[in-house]
Amino acid sequence: MGVLFVLFCIYAATLLLPVVWLTINSFKAGNNEFFYYQWQFKGFSTKNYQALFSGQNDIFTMLANTLILALTIPTCSVFFGMCVGHAVGSFNFKLKGIVYFIFIMPMFVAVAGGTPYLYKLMNDIGLFDTHFGLIIQSCGGYGFGFLMFYSVFKNISHTYSEAAMIDGAGYWRTFLQILAPQAKDLLVAQWVMGFIGTWNDYAGPRLFLPSYTTLGVGVQEISEGVKNANYTYPELFATIMVMLVPIMILYFAFQKKIMTVSLGGGIKG
């Protein structure tokens, strides 16, 4: 046990050291201080953060665009995944196996394989370069989210639904007030992971939302600016820290639920 504890401490240190290094160097005054004093507090300055929040890098616009997507995309994804998972997992009907296969099939298809067709579709229906066009792509209810909710609702006794309907509840009320709360741990975990994934996403906004800069796209543009000497490395690190801190706080706040669902497979009971 002692050896395992030491090994896990070493592993934890390898994960924390890059964050500590990034934090220290985000407060450096410029490239010279970064190159010569990477692990020291010489050249300590808050000017990178001051410049960031003074509007120089348009950080508030990036934050607004990122928040719009990070709040709506996981909400739509979780809601529709939960609806489809409930429908397939809780009811028996003809061709159920085929429907199940259709909703997990996207998991076996490479994302890049369907991107050209999706790009053309967004252009053809007039949703290209709109927030709604990117958000609606998350409303399919298929893939891993569907699979997790399907496993939960499949294992919930029908007694709950029958008792609610005897008391006069309809399908939606039974679903939202009786069944959905029993999957709340999975719901929270899926939403948090979806938020983190959308917050960090670069490819989606870059491809389908070129006129609206998000934090992921902004970090990439600033990193290109570093190569062209338009920005310094500490300025880039400060932007990364602004992007990193909120999702670290969110993950630490819900880590128990996420780990419980991950280890338990999302199955209740």
Q: For residues 78 and 85, what is the distance between their CA atoms, to the nearest angstrom?
A: 10
H-only helix segments in 43-158:
47-53, 59-90, 96-104, 111-124, 131-135, 144-154
Compute the mean pLDDT over every residue in the chain, rounded to the nearest whole number: 85
- What is the DSSP code (8-state) at residue 183? G
**Is this structure's pTM higher than 0.75?**
yes
Question: What tens digit of pLDDT does each residue of 79-121 get?
Answer: 999 999 988 888 888 888 888 888 888 777 776 677 888 888 8
pLDDT at residue 268, rounded to an integer:
46
Nearest to 185 by CA among 218, 155, 148, 159: 148
pLDDT at residue 55, rounded to an integer:
65
Q: For residues 75 and 80, what is the distance between their CA atoms, to the nearest angstrom?
A: 9
The SS3 of residue 44 is strand
Q: Per-residue pLDDT for the chain (269 aa), expressed as one digit of tens each?
A: 778 888 888 888 888 888 889 989 999 888 888 888 888 877 788 888 888 887 666 788 899 999 999 999 999 999 999 999 988 888 888 888 888 888 888 777 776 677 888 888 899 999 999 999 999 998 888 888 888 899 888 888 878 788 888 888 888 888 888 888 888 888 888 999 999 999 999 989 999 999 999 999 989 988 888 888 888 899 899 999 989 988 889 888 888 877 776 655 444 44
